[in-house]
Amino acid sequence: MNEAKGLPPAQRRGMADEVADRVRDAIYAGVYAPGAPLREVELATALRVSRGPVREALLRLEREGLVSSEWHRGTTVTTLTAEDVDELYSLREALEELAVQRLIRHATDAQLRAVRTAADRMDGTADKHTTVQQDLGFHDAVFAAANHRRLDEAWRAIRSQVHLFLLIRLGVSDDEYARHVATEHRELADVLIARDKERALRLFADHRRHAAALVAVQVSPDSPRQTPNRTP
């Protein structure tokens, strides 16, 4: 008996993938700010697709934590709360500490060169959104060099929300971020390449703590609320 006969036909998902990529890139580029609405009809018209792929793409982005959907508000770009920031910080801390420890024990020379290359790309001259992407690219290289598939998958699961976190940091002090980000990451690369575990853990902790402190102030209930907007 051919049990496979009972399976439903496979469906092509390429269009939804492309829509998700386009919307995700637009959020990362600041086209849609935290809290901005994402309306199916408008997105379908702009992207020249039917509403089906848009709906599927938004569900995918919701699973990433990049958008949120409520029946009375529709779908909006996720706005991180103080609780979100605290949870992201603590989870990233746990994941990154393990990544650093494993990298120092298991990384190949080629993987360490990839970490160095990722740090060297951050020269402080790129536009701020490219700088955020380069920042995340460095941390991608660190997790890849840990040689732990499930750890890398755990990082990928929160990566989109960490991107939102860094966009908030840009809104707090984009000049300070651009001025120091390249130097900070070169220092991180140096200690990893030297396989200096104690110093690496300390520098990575300081790196996370400084960013979290800036963002925590911005999302505090006592701070002025960000006004959701949409840039055409």
Q: What mean pLDDT comes out for the span 80-85? A: 89
Per-residue pLDDT reduced to its tens digit, 104-137: 999 999 999 999 999 999 876 667 788 889 999 9
Kindly report the backbone phi and psi dihedral angles of residue 140, in degrees, each rounded to the nearest multiple of 5, phi listed first: -55, -45
Residues near 67 by beta carbon (within 8 Å), at least 6 away in sequence: 27, 38, 58, 61, 75, 76, 77, 78
Dihedral sign for Cα 157, 142, 132, 222, please: positive
How much of the chain exceeds pLDDT 70, in percent?
A: 84
What pLDDT, on a 0 to 100 scale, did the predictor assign at position 7?
55
What pLDDT, on a 0 to 100 scale, did the predictor assign at position 30?
84
Q: 223 falls in which pLDDT band (50, 70, 90)?
A: very low
Q: What mean pLDDT comes out for the span 201-214? A: 89
Of the candidates 43, 76, 45, the one whose C-alpha atom is nearest the C-alpha of residue 62 is 76
Of these ranges, 66-75, 76-85, 167-176, 194-203, the one predicted with the greatest mean pLDDT is 194-203
- Secondary structure class of 69 (helix, strand, coil): strand
Q: Is 120 exposed, middle or buried (0-12, 13-18, 19+ CB in 10 A)?
A: middle
- Residue type at position 24: R
Q: 199 falls in which pLDDT band (50, 70, 90)?
A: very high
